[in-house]
Amino acid sequence: MDPRDSQAFEILVREHADMLMAYLRAMAWNDALVEDAFQEAIIVAWRRLPDFDRSRPFAPWLRGIARNTLLGLARKQQRRHEIAGEAAVLHIEERLARIESTPADRFADRLQPLMDCMQRLAPDQREAVELIYAQSLDPRVAAVTAGTTDETFRKRLYRARLQLSECLRIKGFLTGAPA
């Protein structure tokens, strides 16, 4: 590996890692599959770097590789049915491209509207999101921690995600323009 290419590639990967992870997680709900796809996508991207048109943005190119890698892995693991459908994938890609166009240094900085929406959640829903996503608890452990049943907790989390989606839409975060 040419050291300069290697360093440049690593910088690019680190810059886009958050986006890539969000994209893969949006496409597949299976953590192990997502982790494998993340690794493989970076390796495939490195291998195909000579084919990358440097006059074009890196992120869509990387997402294309990641999408194909994930689909290939899912097929091999007979999990294709767990992957988002084509229309959903297109939707996700459009939204991510929109988020990327937001002026900010880091991907995390572009997610401020999400943080704002989090604050608007009902306390039990916010707790559910924090237990699952911030503390990375197993859902059953999270349910116990929240003092409720698995089923109730799952519904609470589901409603929280819907609320966040709606809030982000209102903010124009998912639609491009404030409602």
Partner 1 sequence: MSTDHDHQREPSADERLVHGLLASLAADHAERQDGRVRAAIARIDRHSSVLARLGRFGVARFAAAGALAATLTIAVVLSIGPATNSAYATLQSISNRLATGNRSYRQTIVLTNRDGTDSLREAMVDVGTGRRFVFAIDLDALPMGPRTPGNGGARMQPGVAPPGATQPGMRGENGPPPRPGARGRRGPEHGDRPRADGSMPRGQDGPGLGDRHGAPPIAWGFDGAEYWQIDLAGHVTRSSDPMSMRDPMPLMSGPSSDQDSENDDEELLTLQPLLDRLESGFDLTVVTGTQARTAEGEPLVVIEATLRPEVNAAARPKMAQDEPKDREGPSIRKGRRGMRAPPLPTRVRLVANARTNELVSVVADWPDGSRFLRRIVVERVAPRAFDDAWFSPERHAPLAPPQTRGG
Q: Which residues bind partner 1 (CB under 8 A)?
A: 1, 6, 10, 13-14, 17-18, 21-27, 29-31, 35, 38-40, 42-43, 46-47, 68, 71-72, 75-78, 84-85, 87-88, 91-92, 95-96, 107-108, 111, 114, 129-130, 132-139, 142, 154-155, 157-158, 161-162, 164-165, 168-169, 174
Between 59 and 168, CB nearer to partner 1? 168
CA 31 – CA 150 distance, rounded (Å): 20
> By C-beta, is 59 or 132 nearer to partner 1?
132
81-84 — which CB contacts under 8 Å span 24+ positions?
82/28, 82/29, 82/30, 82/33, 83/27, 83/28, 84/26, 84/27, 84/28
Q: How far is the CB of 4 from partner 1 (least distance, A)?
A: 14
Q: Give the shortest CB-103-to-partner 1 separation in angstroms.
A: 18
Shortest CA distance to 146 belongs to which of 156, 160, 159? 156
Min dist. Cβ of residue 172 to partner 1 (A): 13
Q: What would the two tokens of residue 52 be?
A: 């990358």
CA distance from start to end of the chain = 49
For partner 1, the closer of residues 23 and 61 by Cβ is 23
Pick the closer one to partner 1 by CB: 50 or 55: 50
What's the alpha-carbon Rg for the chain, to the nearest Å?
A: 18
